[in-house]
Amino acid sequence: MSRLWNFTSGLFKSEIREFQVMFWSFIFPLILYFILTSVFGSFYGSGTQGVSFRVGIVREENLAGFGKIIDEVIEGISSESGPFVKKEYGSIDEALVDLREGRQDIVLVIPAGTNAKMTSALALKMGEVPLRVHYISGKESSTIASSIIEEVINEVNLEIERRGKGDFMNIVTETKVISAIEEKAFDYKEYIFPGVALMMILSVALFNSPIGLIQYRVSGVNKKLYTTPLRSLEYFAGHFFKLIITMLISLVLLYLVAAFVYRVGGSIFDIRFILTLLYSMIVAVSFGLMLASFSKKLSTVTVLGQTLYQIMMFLGGLYFPVFDLPWGIRWLVYALPTTYLVELSRRVMGYQFAPLSVGWLIAVPLIWTTFSLVVFAVNFKKVMGYE
Amino acid sequence: MSRNKLEAVFIAFAKEAFRNKLEVFFTLFFPMIFLLLFGFFFGGSSDYQKPSLGLYQTGAYDISPIIEETGAWSLSFFDDDNSLEEAIKAGDVLLGVTFDGEKISYLYREGDVGQLSTIEMARASISAAVEKEINNVKSVIVVENIPETAGRVRATDADYTMSGVVAISLLSAGMFSVISVFGRYRKRGVLDRFKITPLKPMTFILGSTLTRFLVSLVSIILILIVSRLLFKTGFQINWPLFLISIVSSTLGMMALGLFLTLLFRNPETADTAASILMVIMIFLAGIYFPLAFLPDYLRAISSFLPVKYVAEIIRHSLGIEMVSTVYFLVTNLVLSISGILLLYFTGRRYLSAS
């Protein structure tokens, strides 16, 4: 036992002395967690707090009288908590140049005659007040900003009617979230945690493991090891434990950041959630072993590893939902083990994204594990470089 | 500088680049993986389908014409709320709506983050439209949305996403290649061998730089072809401006790689730093995600990321978003000059025989 421990500890030390391994296994997941929560935390957060679009305002006449209502609306949406930052322009041409050159997201034009039209619409109940919103077609920030302006104006219209009409019928609106276990508020920092954890597990399993095995074979280290009393099973167990220890250390770091920096609690400490991560480790490691058995050279394993890593990360739904992708690519989503593993972890957290039962979430990765281990076992001598 | 020597160095570097499986993979095929992934995620595919909305209503008032009028939803009807919930759970319906004449309930699957903004918008617009219709509200203020074209063509989501893929590809091809040439060659002692030959440092630098231009160009042309075929991009390319942008962007991105090589003596460390920069730029440069959603401090950081400017000049030359002529010229000049200066200093530092 101590022989195995010594060998594992030696392999582990040699592994983490490599700067690349140290960085990609331990530091990069923390950086990615920070970037994703910073970028998408507000994207998927509640309300428009922190969101800031740029709106250029062109006044073809200064607002007065009833027209001041529009001024109040503009002030309201471009105040400190509002989703817009406004800039006044003297002419439409100047504003459109800035819109086309990306300095504004939309341009709101208050046409000449607005004051008179507002008076007519409100006092005489005649006519309507047109406002023009110029936006850039195809540009996401611009189309979202124009939709928000439209919604705001809709609300203003309803509010005007509500105040002027005694028998206005308010429609009650309620939201019901259909979830796996119970209704809970969506927390992006919690949601993304299993995605980042699985990314780390994948990077260890698809890079460290097969590259380590092939490097030892091609550099002749294996041949030297075979001259020692070390048995092949011990060698393999040492390699396996080295990977698991690397993953566990990285996971502890990720937990510390999640708990103390982002205050994520509860579900990620649930023992069932931790078990799903351990299951993911076993599945990913066996997948990495299969990868090693397909590759003779380091360059081949690097190319295969990178390709599979990106595909399994993005199409596995680690960061973005994948079940609304076109069927031309969605079949791949169903074929990947990561789709099931990340969904399994999130299901334990109380989320449900995939239209799949828990049975499938466990069975498909298990099939992949069995298949991978069989392929590895068949190619064992080739991978380990036995003559 | 002898033309023959330059040609020989260029051919040698080009052969090495195209024979090296790893380099071919990372410069030509790796961007394709991103193109496909980001294209499907953010670019919208050509077989666009309206999101599905399931409706179950019990009141006297029928709100289905209001929803249909928006033209944004594929509407289906349900006989009870249980079957609607089941359809949502199964992913057949994105948004469920129940209406009893007084109350509208919106049902959706927990944490369907990709669709949250669509759902939020739908909730606001459907409720407002129903309230408006039931109360026979006459709009006082109406908004006329006028689509504008920022470039020579009316761009689509796919055009914006694919131009981003081109910018990221230029970043990758420029930045990583010089780390390989000046970092790994130096570590392996290859540069020391060159020093003792009669080859001028400038010939070596020009030869390797021309190869980078060639590799970048091949990579970009592949991206343009695949994005045209798969995502129906409608670029109207101004080839002279596009070639200028590719050359200056490659030089600018090489400058970034050279800066990392000078900063970190170990090429593996420089490579790692480049990878971090790459991830940061993918998420924070406003290429795939609107900067409007970033917190203020990240928005400030994004203005220091060179790939943001590369994306702008690429979009300009592809005809999807114009910038002013002065801005285009200054950006190209800054990228080119920084590349040339750093190539000159790095060359002098690592290739001069003294």
Q: Please give the full DSSP string across B63-113, using - where no structure is assigned.
A: -HHHHHHH---EEEE-SSHHHHHHHHHTTS-SEEEEE-SSEEEEEEETT-G
For the ranges A315-324, A360-369, B284-293, the one whose mean pLDDT is highest: A360-369
Residue B354 predicted with pLDDT over 60 = no
Q: Is residue B146 part of a domain?
A: no
Q: Which residues contact A178 (CB under 8 A, 6 or more apart)?
A: A352, B85, B88, B89, B96, B107, B108, B109, B110
pLDDT at residue number A373: 93
Question: Is A139 in contact with B160 (Cβ distance < 8 A)?
Answer: yes
B56 beta partners = B98
Assign residue B56 the CATH number of its domain. 3.40.190
Mean per-residue pLDDT, A36-54: 69
Structural domains in chain A? 2-43+186-384 (no CATH), 53-164 (3.40.1710.10)
Give per-residue pLDDT as tens, A88-111: 999 999 999 899 888 899 999 999
Is residue A40 classed exposed, middle or buried when 0-12, 13-18 and 19+ CB atoms within 10 A define those classes? buried
Name the residue range of residue B312's domain. 3-44+152-351
Contact predicate B114/B40, CB 8 Å: no
Task: Give A196 to chain B, closest Cα distance, Å.
Answer: 14
A105 lies within 8 A of chain B by CB: yes
Which backbone phi and psi does A130 adopt, to 5 degrees?
-85, 135
CA distance B259 to B243: 24
Q: Are residues B205 and B328 in the same domain?
A: yes
pLDDT band at A289 (very low <50, low <70, confident <90, very high): very high
Q: Which of A171, A172, A352 to mutate against chain B (most B CBs within 10 Å)? A: A171
Question: Is B103 in contact with A186 (Cβ distance < 8 A)?
Answer: no
Give per-residue pLDDT as tens, B262-312: 888 888 788 888 888 888 888 888 777 777 777 778 888 888 899 999 999
Give per-residue pLDDT as tens, A50-62: 567 889 999 998 8
Residue A48 predicted with pLDDT over 60 = no
For the ranges A227-236, B228-237, B282-291, the one whose mean pLDDT is highest: B228-237
Q: Are residues B84 and B230 in the same domain?
A: no
Q: Is residue B145 part of a domain?
A: no
Give per-residue pLDDT as tens, A72-92: 888 888 876 668 888 999 999
pLDDT at residue number A337: 96
CA distance B178 to B185: 10
Name the closest residue on chain A to residue B153, using Cα atoms.
A137
Mean per-residue pLDDT, A352-374: 91
Task: Give A376 to chain B, closest Cα distance, Å.
Answer: 24
Q: Are residues B59 and B195 in the same domain?
A: no
Number of domains in chain B: 2
Q: Are residues B240 and B268 in the same domain?
A: yes
Residue A131 with chain B: CB contacts under 8 Å: 141-144
Q: Which residues contact B4 (CB under 8 A, 6 or more apart)?
A: none
Q: Are residues B125 and B157 in the same domain?
A: no
pLDDT at residue number B21: 78
A52 lies within 8 A of chain B by CB: yes
B61 lies within 8 A of chain A by CB: no
Question: Is A38 in contact with B295 (Cβ distance < 8 A)?
Answer: yes
Residue A68 predicted with pLDDT over 70 = yes
CA distance A275 to A200: 16
Contact predicate B150/B156, CB 8 Å: no
Q: Is residue B299 part of a domain?
A: yes
A108 beta partners = A57, A133
Give per-residue pLDDT as tens, A204-213: 999 888 988 8
Q: Are residues B228 and B89 in the same domain?
A: no
CA distance B109 to B106: 10
B330 lies within 8 A of chain A by CB: no
- Residue B203: other Cβ atoms inside 10 A: 22
Q: Is residue B139 part of a domain?
A: no
pLDDT at residue number B195: 79
Question: Is B113 in contact with A184 (Cβ distance < 8 A)?
Answer: no
Q: Is residue B144 part of a domain?
A: no
Task: Give B253 to chain A, closest Cα distance, Å.
Answer: 22
Q: Is residue B227 part of a domain?
A: yes
Pick the last residue of a domain from B134, B163, B182.
Answer: B134
Name the closest residue on chain A to residue B140, using Cα atoms.
A128
pLDDT at residue number B329: 96
Q: Are residues B17 and B65 in the same domain?
A: no
Q: Are residues B184 and B123 in the same domain?
A: no
Question: Is A171 in contact with B127 (Cβ distance < 8 A)?
Answer: yes
Q: Are residues B183 and B272 in the same domain?
A: yes
Residue B148 with chain A: CB contacts under 8 Å: 96, 99-100, 134-137
CA distance A45 to A185: 10
pLDDT band at A339 (very low <50, low <70, confident <90, very high): very high
CA distance A323 to B91: 8
Residue A125 with chain B: CB contacts under 8 Å: 138
Task: Give B173 to chain A, closest Cα distance, Å.
Answer: 16
Residue A1 predicted with pLDDT over 80 = no
Pick the last residue of a domain from B134, B168, B183.
Answer: B134
Question: Is B148 in contact with A172 (Cβ distance < 8 A)?
Answer: no
Q: Is residue B242 part of a domain?
A: yes
pLDDT at residue number A245: 94
What whole-number percentage of chain B has pLDDT above 70? 93
CA distance B132 to A66: 22
Q: What does the buried/exposed string (b/e) look like for B110-149 if buried means 16 or more CB atoms within 10 Å of the residue's CB?
A: bbbbbbbebbbbbbbbbbbbbbbebbebebbbebeeeebb
B188 lies within 8 A of chain A by CB: no
Pick the last residue of a domain from B107, B134, B161.
Answer: B134
Q: Which residues contact A371 (CB under 8 A, 6 or more apart)?
A: A290
Q: Is residue B141 part of a domain?
A: no
pLDDT band at A229 (very low <50, low <70, confident <90, very high): confident
Which among A180, A303, A355 has the least Cβ separation from residue B22?
A303
B120 lies within 8 A of chain A by CB: no
Q: Are residues B8 and B63 in the same domain?
A: no
Q: Are residues B74 and B189 in the same domain?
A: no
Q: Are residues B222 and B339 in the same domain?
A: yes
- In SS3 terms, chain A reads as CHHHHHHHHHHHHHHHCCHHHHHHHHHHHHHHHHHHHHHHHHHCCCCCCCCCEEEEEEECCCCCHHHHHHHHHHHHHCCCCCCEEEEEECCHHHHHHHHHCCCCCEEEEECCCHHHHHHHHHHCCCCCEEEEEEEECCCHHHHHHHHHHHHHHHHHHHHHHHHHCCCCCCCEEEEEEECCCCCCCCCHHHHHHHHHHHHHHHHHHHHHHHHHHHHHHHCCHHHHHHCCCCCHHHHHHHHHHHHHHHHHHHHHHHHHHHHHHCCCCHHHHCHHHHHHHHHHHHHHHHHHHHHHHHCCCHHHHHHHHHHHHHHHHHCCCCCCCCCCCCHHHHHHHHHCHHHHHHHHHHHHHCCCCCCCCHHHHHHHHHHHHHHHHHHHHHCHHHHHCCC
Diameter over CA atoms, chain B: 92
